Structure formats: C-alpha cells, structure tokens
Amino acid sequence: MSERKFVVVDGSSMLSTCYYAVLPREIMFAKTEEEKQRHYDKILHAKDGTYTNAILGMLKMIVSLMKKQQPDHIAFVFDKTRDTFRREMYSDYKGTRGATPEPLKNQFVLMEQILEDVGFQVLFSQRYEADDYAGSLVMKFREEIPMIVLTKDHDYLQLVSDEHNVRAWMVQSRQEKADELYKKYFSLYRVKKEQLNLPEKVFEYTSDTVFYEEGVWPEQIADLKGIQGDSSDNIPGVKGVSSAALLLLREYGTVEEIYRAILEAEADKKTLKEMQDFWKNELGISRSPYKALTKTSEEELCGEKAALMSKALATMKMDIPIELELSDFSSKAYEEDKVRQWLSKLDIKEASIFGTGL
C-alpha cells in the first residue's frame, strides 16, 4: 500500500475502549449501577472534576498516530444518539444496550470539542451513526487516495476492498492477539509487520483476511448479519439458521439470492426436495434451514422479512452528502501545541501523552 493515506477514526469506538481500559477496579467489579456510581470519584479527573480517563487514552493514541503513521488526511466520526434512522426501521435496534455512563458521556462531548480545536474534522449527526459517515467518506474519496478505517467495530469490515485500496485497522484486545493474526496471515503480505507501520494492538484487514477470519467477503458482511443477526446491536437475524449462514452465502452470495433460489424451488415439490438435498449433500448443511428461512408469523419478526430487515440494519449508508473536499481533511491542520494546552487545562501530564514510548 502506498504510504499516502486517509485515516478515518471511529471516535466512538476508540473513546469507549479507552474509557473501559482504565476504570478503577471498584467500578469494573461492581455488581449494580448504584455501586458503580459511588466510585465515580475514583475515575481519573481534572482538578475541577472533569473526567479525563478516556480523553487521556485517546489523545495518546492520536498523538502516536500522527507521529508514527503520519496520515496525509484524517477524520473522526462519532455516534451522537441511538435514535437514528435505524430505530425508525426497527424500534428495538440497540435496545439491549445499557445507558452510557455519565463519566463517558461527558467525555464524548469534550473529546469532540478538543478534536475540532486541534485541527481535525469531526463528523456526527442525530440521523446517522459513525460508521455511516465512515462509509460515506470512503466512497467519496477512495478513488483519490488509499483509505483506512481505524476501529474495533467489525461492521466496518464491509468497507474493505483491495480493488479500491481500502483497509481496516482493527484494534485487538491485546498486542499479542494482533501479532498472532499477523503470523497467521503473514504470507498474504508482501512486507514485514514492521514495514506495515501499524498502530499498537492493530491488525490490518485486507479482503482476503476478512474472508479467512469472518468466512465471507467484505461485501457480504451485512448479508451474514442478515441471517445470523448481531446481539451487540440487537439485530435479530433469522433464528435457527446461523450455522448454515456461511455455507448458504458462499453458494448464493446474498440474502436476496438465497430467497430467489427458494422461491424458484417452491414452484415444484420435486425441485424443492432437490434443493434441500443439494444443501445437505453438496453444501454440507446437516440440518435443513428451510423452515426457519421461510417461517411467517404476524406475532413475531421471522423468515425473509427478518433477514431483509436485519441486512438493512447492518448495512452502512455510503451516500451521506459530505460537502467537504479532500483538502479539508488535511493533517497539516493539526496543531500539537493546542493538544498541550488542553493537557494543561485538564491537568494531564504531558509525559503521559508525549512520553518516550511514542
């Protein structure tokens, strides 16, 4: 990959990761929300009480990114609310998630302010999610410059494209995990890990590594979730089919094509039986998912309706109008001195951000 690159940072994912990475033990092991709140005063904070544990971690990551990876262009995308257009499609979308802790919620607002002040473009709205902005940025600029998305969210893998020079820098839980993945797939890369110049704890996904790790190609990620669902976002999928999802998608490609094949087969009982025999004998599906895939009910979301809606929920929007041009995302706008000013204001020691480890 060319050294020239545009890095799109999933700000919500990164800030949340930084927040939970350094919580006091009393909060990490608390059994109730009330117990957690009693220990909020132990979270790293400035003299005026402003919480800073997540901000410290994210600023350290950003300073390191700007110094080591030196992106030509950079943008930060954030979630602003869970009540986006997806809630209009499915009211229970992300319905199983608990409320964002107040200390983290406060740092979201301040982090966005800091990023804009030090010279970065920050994108968010009440209508769309962070990954929708990432997808739209990738689609807008991928023909002009190699694009990289930096995140922990596997939804972003649907953007990866070797053809269009789009990679995903996926943050792992440990550096050892990132190293293990590289060793597993080192033959797919033309350069050594050191030459890839990746941030800490990051493994770079290409189209091939997405396929080997996820079982489907990047463009099929939403189809996979259409069938399997996604518990983290409360996307239902089709119950009773998850084990067959990969095999069906490898044969038919998309959710729509699976149902097209079923519809054609249902025109004749013999053809329907032949299709199910093909699934068992050729695709290796031991238990037929036909009934689950075709189930209908007025009381519950299931079958084709559930699959298509789940796919729609999992699919990033890639056409949000973005009036900014490539030059508006230039990393030359970044002012390190302003980072230092914020550190002073928040009572964060510069050594913790600009230490020798960077």
pLDDT tens, position by position, 152-202: 999 999 999 999 999 999 999 999 999 999 999 988 877 788 888 899 999
36 lies in the same domain as 152: yes
Per-residue pLDDT, averaged over 51-79, amounts to 97
pLDDT at 2: 46
Per-residue pLDDT, averaged over 42-59, amounts to 97
Q: Give the total number of structural domains in the chain.
A: 2
Is pLDDT at 34 greater than 50 in this prediction?
yes
Look up the CATH number of the domain holding residue 256.
1.10.150
Q: If we measure between CA atoms, which residue out of 104, 235, 1, 17 comes closest to residue 9?
A: 17
pLDDT at 189: 79
Mean pLDDT across the chain, nearest whole number?
94
103 lies in the same domain as 194: yes
pTM of the model: 0.94
**Residues 201, 343, 41: CA angle, nearest 5 degrees:** 85
246 lies in the same domain as 152: no
Which residue range is the domain that position 231 belongs to? 220-314
251-294: pLDDT as tens digits: 999 999 999 999 999 999 999 999 999 999 999 999 999 999 99
No. of helices (H) and no. of strands (E), the chain? 18, 6
70 lies in the same domain as 148: yes
88 lies in the same domain as 206: yes
280 lies in the same domain as 335: no
Q: If we measure between CA atoms, which residue out of 202, 231, 227, 233 comes closest to residue 215?
A: 227
pLDDT at 242: 76
298 lies in the same domain as 326: no
Is pLDDT at 13 greater than 50 in this prediction?
yes
pLDDT at 358: 41
Residue 14 counted as domain residue: yes
Is pLDDT at 103 greater than 70 in this prediction?
yes
pLDDT at 355: 76
43 pLDDT band, cuts 50/70/90, is: very high
pLDDT at 232: 92
Is pLDDT at 102 greater than 90 in this prediction?
yes
168 lies in the same domain as 265: no
112-159: pLDDT as tens digits: 999 999 999 999 999 999 999 999 999 999 999 999 999 999 999 999
334-352: pLDDT as tens digits: 999 999 999 999 999 999 9
357 pLDDT band, cuts 50/70/90, is: very low
Q: CB–CB of 26/39 below 8 Å?
A: yes
Residue 123 counted as domain residue: yes
Residue 358 counted as domain residue: no
pLDDT at 69: 95
**Amino acid residing at 232:** S
Task: Kindly give the residue spans of alpha helices, DSSP state H, lying in the chain.
Answer: 11-21, 25-28, 33-38, 53-64, 85-89, 102-117, 130-141, 175-185, 193-196, 207-214, 221-228, 242-252, 255-265, 269-281, 290-294, 303-314, 336-345, 351-354
198 lies in the same domain as 270: no
Q: If we measure between CA atoms, which residue out of 126, 123, 155 comes closest to residue 233?
A: 155
Residue 184 counted as domain residue: yes
1 pLDDT band, cuts 50/70/90, is: very low
